[in-house]
Structure 1
């Protein structure tokens, strides 16, 4: 029964990689450029179509709004679709950014929604977040303080998860301030030297199953949690923590750069690297990191902090250019400077802290090859914020733009492509 509850909980939390369920009524919003890209000042037109049973639905009541993503709409209208379609003049943007058209239709008392986001010179988007003069010194000292703390690795075999090829453990390591850092470690049983993959997690509080399939293919894998708690407990424990003590953790102690929640998290990721490179089974060279959303952020951050990471594969990184809202455009998750969060966080000390933790300033330090993937329709991690980080990466980089229509989710083909790339680099040494 415990095994079943764990599996159900794991399925419940595959929110950052799950494709949306099929909808009975579909609203398609189509831009008039196949690549969804426009030059600043160039007009965009959207075609809105409502389908039921794959046939245009006539007479549907439609409301649409157009404006820069996450901002107040500059145009909105409610109308009835006589023939099931509507051509809309979307206007333009004079500067680099993203213009979004959101359409909703009321059908039989239920509301259905669709959206499309046009990009205007996204490669020209620049960050708004401050880059502190002592950014490097701050993190060099933090890592030096961490290095003084013994790793004190503790491994507990999980026999029910082991396979014919792989041993699976819960691992916990000593971190700063007397805390621990937990994860699921998978080690190939066959004697030899192996490349390693560190998977860092999306936001939330949950258990982890581990990257067992990848370990079966000949990789050491470590999938970590960030909250300093075991990652194999009953689902109800994580539910209670998410609603209680860990509710709002992304903004905890934001007024103090030394006490901010993510300091322990970022250093915990470095500690995970410490452990992996010290394993006798590690091949000594080939170490990669991957994750999506908060995990996409942590992939970039860990690579910026630690030169032992040789490749990274990041999906829709959160925590990117979070101060965008203070400059009249979308900022990254957790949206700390908009809505109800603005009045609380719009203070000099909180704004200053963000500079030490924003993905943008770690991206400036990424020198190793990386592959990145996101869609233009992401409403959790706005593409404006992600491009602000991507554009300052100095190392070799490739952004997979084949999945423009994705929001905060991925297609199976998308994740397969990404993981195949990462594993190929690690197996071949990047050659």
Structure 2
């Protein structure tokens, strides 16, 4: 009886705490797009809605990102708990942030316009591939010379410190975890670190070995052990020289880590994924594009995308190369050189070179990695994927982050369904299939049929859309918002079509939704 009473008291306490949190969060200054999914078309009128528990004036400013000039600004008077609308029209594809302030309180909301039409602002360098092939050759001339020392052991995994040879007389430092209790060979996941030089910025990830039955390699991009501060982190960094940008040795470090994984006899030789958050998400995207041994990508609020944006007063992700050039050097010649050099480190151009499944997390209220920069990169991908859209989350991991990653990995690498953890779920999450590539004769009709599943079960009735990614002519769909449709083509050639389904189970409670997509090629001959 005593135990029951204590449990009841504990539950009541939890209910009170969570209720207080919910009431507190709803009793704050807030701003959000009036449409729940915050998605609009370019040229369409939208509204940001401001709510506050108290009466008074609220200042607002709408921008492409927090470093750019205002697109609109002003002051409105709000009544308690009554939405006040701010009208706004965006005439081109992109994302905006609306920041509001009132008596020392601040809030930010975001919106997206014509997200499937987002494209790179500038063309990629003509010698992009030649440059990176040269960098890989430079790395290949450096002996790998792996050094492993024991770090930790549990009943489910064994972890080691590891360091490997890298360019510029540097080493790649990290942690390697190996599953216990299940026989090799194993898949492998390489984790790239978020921004920072603090100790433990690239911690070991034994959870991937224990819950996923995979070799887990987590690396730092600095020239010291991951749990030690590198006093020279991010230095030297000549942002006006493609060979002098600090991230060059970060990318070679990731490639060298992959070299090491492929050298291990307990790796299964094929199933390699890369993952990362923020800076790590951008590095994972870049690594996936530059190293064709990578078979899956999991990126979260990725930085390192859209560097050219600030040249044109548009959004750009960290690091802010153009603004850094202006603030430090202040001359157009240096800015021009920085613009050119930074293109070799822009995730948008790497994305088109990755041909595998991708799991992406983005936030519309992200002030560090603007949503449009990540979506532009995602638009370059050409294989199936899943996007989790968080409407109100900032630069952070969404709820369900780990669960979705493991579901994605189990779907992509079925071997990860076998692992040491005795209570692991076996779910595989979302998946879309647009069907096999199709060949039809001129003036023929392509019969398209897509499926969407969740944990292997059909997920019918979702909002869906077929669209043209590229092709030489026009495409007409008989039923563009159905899973199955017929398509006709105005002229011969090869067309890439995208199927997208949208699931909104938590849109009105967690302010998030999911898009699941796949591609099919139709050749008209």
Measured in 2, the distance between the counterparts of 1:77 and 1:335 equals 27
Partner of 2:168: 177
State which drifts further: 310-319 or 207-216: 207-216
Q: Name the structure 1 match of 2:259.
A: 274
Q: Using a 3 Å threshold, how does the CA distance of structure 1 residues 300 and 199 change in structure 2: closer, same or farther?
A: same
Name the CA shift for 1:74/1:146 in 2 (closer, same or farther; >3 Å).
Answer: closer
**1:390-409 → structure 2 map (5 Å cutoff):** 390-401=378-389, 403-409=390-396
Note if contact 2:147-2:162 (Cα within 8 Å) is conserved in structure 1: yes
Q: 1:47-126 residue pairs with structure 2 within 5 A?
A: 47-50=49-52, 57-70=53-66, 71-106=68-103, 111-126=104-119
Distance across 1 between alignment mates of 2:172 and 2:324: 33
Separation in structure 1 between the aligned mates of residue 244 and residue 88 of structure 2, nearest angstrom: 45
Determine if the alignment matches structure 1 residue 372 to structure 2 residue 365.
no
Matched position secondary structure for 1:213: helix
8 Å CA contact 1:39, 1:121 repeated in 2? yes
TM-score where L is the length of structure 2: 0.69
Paired residues, what number? Answer: 387
Q: Structure 1 residues 416, 78: CA separation in 2 closer, same or farther (over 3 Å shift)?
A: same
Contact 2:178 2:214 in 1 (8 A): yes
Structure with the larger strand share: 2
Query: 1: distance between equivalents of 2:41 and 2:145?
Result: 55
Which structure is higher in RCO with an 8 Å CA cutoff and minimum separation 6? 1
The range that moved more, 288-297 or 386-395, is 386-395
Query: Quick one: distance in 2 between partners of 1:229 and 1:77?
Result: 48
Please give the alpha-carbon distance, in whole angstroms, between the structure 1 residues aligned to 2:173 and 2:122: 31
Task: Normalising by structure 1, report the TM-score.
Answer: 0.84
CA distance in 2: counterparts of 1:308 and 1:362, whole angstroms: 14
* Higher radius of gyration, 1 or 2: 2
Cα distance change on mapping 1:129 and 1:229 into 2, 3 Å: farther
Say whether 1:422 aligns with 2:409.
Answer: yes
Q: Is 2:217 the counterpart of 1:222?
A: yes
The 8 Å contact of residues 129 and 322 in structure 1, kept in 2 or not, is answered as: no
* SS at 2:282 equivalent: helix
Change (3 A) 1:337 1:23: farther
Given that residues 92 and 99 in structure 1 are in contact (C-alpha distance below 8 angstroms), is that contact kept between their aligned partners in structure 2?
no
2:191 alignment partner in structure 1: 199
Change (3 A) 1:85 1:375: same
Match for residue 304 of structure 1 among 273, 289, 301: 289
CA distance in 2, matches of 1:173, 1:30: 47
Say if 2:187 and 2:415, in contact at 8 Å, map to a contact too: no
CA–CA distance in 2 between the matches of 1:166 and 1:339?
Answer: 43
Describe the shift of the 1:37–1:23 C-alpha distance in structure 2 as closer, same or farther (beyond 3 A): closer
Structure 2 partner of 1:156? 149
Structure 2 stretches of 5 or more lacking a match? 1-23, 417-427, 432-525
| CA distance in 1: counterparts of 2:320 and 2:187, whole angstroms | 36
State the shift of 1:404 in Å.
Answer: 2.0
Output the aligned Cα RMSD: 2.3
Paired residues of 1:195 and 1:427 also in contact (CA < 8 A)? no
Gaps spanning 5+ residues in structure 1: where? Answer: 1-21, 51-56
Question: Could you list the per-position Cα deviations for residues 298-350 of structure 1 after superposition, in whole angstroms to 9, with x for gaps in the alignment?
Answer: 11111111111111111121111111011231112112223784563752222
Matched, 1:352 2:352: no
Q: 1:129 to 1:65 in 2, by over 3 A?
A: same
Structure 1 runs of 4+ aligned residues shifted over 3 Å read 22-25, 67-70, 339-343, 428-431
Is contact 2:96–2:110 with CA below 8 Å preserved after alignment? yes
Q: How far has the Cα of 1:24 moved from its partner?
A: 9.2
Corresponding residue number in structure 2 for 1:332: 317
Structure 1 residue aligned with 2:44:
42
Contact 1:170 1:231 in 2 (8 A): no
Task: Answer 1 or 2: which has greater helix percent.
Answer: 1
Which whole-Å CA distance do the structure 1 matches of 2:106 and 2:148 have between them?
47
